[in-house]
Homo-oligomer: A and B are copies of this chain.
Amino acid sequence: MSITLKEVANACGVSITTVSLVLNDRPNRISEDVKARILETVERLNYKPNPIAVSMITKKTNIWGLILPDISNLYFSELAKVIEQNAYQSGYNIIYGNTTDSIEHTFEYFDFFYNRGVDGIIIIYSNKFNDEDKAKLNKLIQEADIPVIILDRFLAENRTTTILVDHRKGGYIATKHLLDLGHKVIGCITGPKHIVSSNERLLGYKDALKEAHIPFDESLIYHGDFQPHSGIKALESLLPKKVTAIFSFNDMMAIGFFRECKKRKIRIPEDISVIGYDDIILSELLDPPLTTITQPIDALGKEAVLQMLEMMKKNDHNYKNIILNPSLKVRESTQKK
């Protein structure tokens, strides 16, 4: 169906080598008139090299695999968008796989993409990964002859580039903000216990308390699951503790918390200040607009593409650990105590 090199060569009365040389702008000096003739013919016949045949030789597909827990999660889809667009700028396409946060699926996609011949893999592995899984991943990465980037996850003893957000600092910033406003009894609504980002935020919370010489009180911590429902439950649990402020480890739980406050006629921020985490699109639309911590999604995605390009270029297996900072977004759900 498609025009081939051979057809172009025949049409020009030259060999396929010559055409290929011209098209790839190789150092061999092809005379200007032959070059012009070939270029004209290529144009006229609308010749496009068959990328599969090219891949056959070059061992490159110009495709990167992106493995993530769930593209319908706004955080990941924003990330995926930034990655796709930046990769496309450099001539790469993205194939992606939803793991539904399953360990097994994460490895399955890794294998699948690897065997497919992608040029690189960007992976946001399942939150359920334990140390053994991480070791296994590390081993796979070691054995693979393509660059792999671990995104948004911490991999101890990693042997490849990782890019992540400093959640501990995020927790610190959020807590510091509340402390600066004069709050002393600050409740926390955390994520699931096995999730690193949640635990890191909690460490940041403790850091800030320590700095302010306020002793840590375990009973102020409500262990949630990142779902709005946790926010509702948290209120029940934390209200008797006379908290004046709440640090919700994500915005979704803050939304649940808001609802329950409204139901009980508790005013935000007059009676209780609330700070969230993530800055999802709706945070701004809550009543009152939610003060929150913004994730550097854009930077995260751009950095991933940048690092991948770097790793493609020089084939050294040097790796970097890049840590990006979240930032505070003050709106109206927090106020002076």
Contacts and interface: CB of A to CB of B under 8 A. Distances in A.
B85 A81 contact: no
A117 B285 contact: no
B71 A74 contact: no
A268 to B, nearest CB: 12
Interface residues of A, number: 43
Interface stretch (A8-16, A34-42, A45-53, A326-334): A45-53
Contact of A56 (B53, B71, B287): B53
Contact of A71 (B81, B117, B228, B285): B81
Contact of A88 (B1, B72, B97, B255): B97
Contacts of A263: 287
B256 A285 contact: yes
A184 interface: no
A94 B93 contact: no
Contacts of A100: 85
A131 to B, nearest CB: 26
Contacts of A117: 50-52
A15 B235 CA distance: 71
Interface string A92-111: 01111110100000000000
Contacts of A287: 259, 262-263
Contacts of A56: 52-53, 56
A272 interface: no
Interface string A248-259: 000000011001
Q: How many copies does the complex hold?
A: 2
Interface string A156-186: 0000000000000000000000000000000
A95 B97 contact: no
Contacts of A1: 145
A84 interface: yes
Given A145-B1, A228-B285, A98 B74 contact: no
A282 interface: yes
Interface in A1-44: 1
A209 interface: no
Task: Identify the 4 closest CB pairs spanning chains A and B, nearest first.
Answer: A77-B77, A72-B81, A72-B78, A93-B95
Interface in A279-304: 282, 285, 287
A55 interface: yes
Nearest to A54: B52
Contacts of A259: 285, 287
Given A80-B71, A145-B1, A285-B228, A51 B94 contact: no
Contact of A115 (B51, B115, B282): B51
A61 interface: yes
Given A56-B52, A84-B98, A71 B61 contact: no
Contacts of A98: 81, 84-85
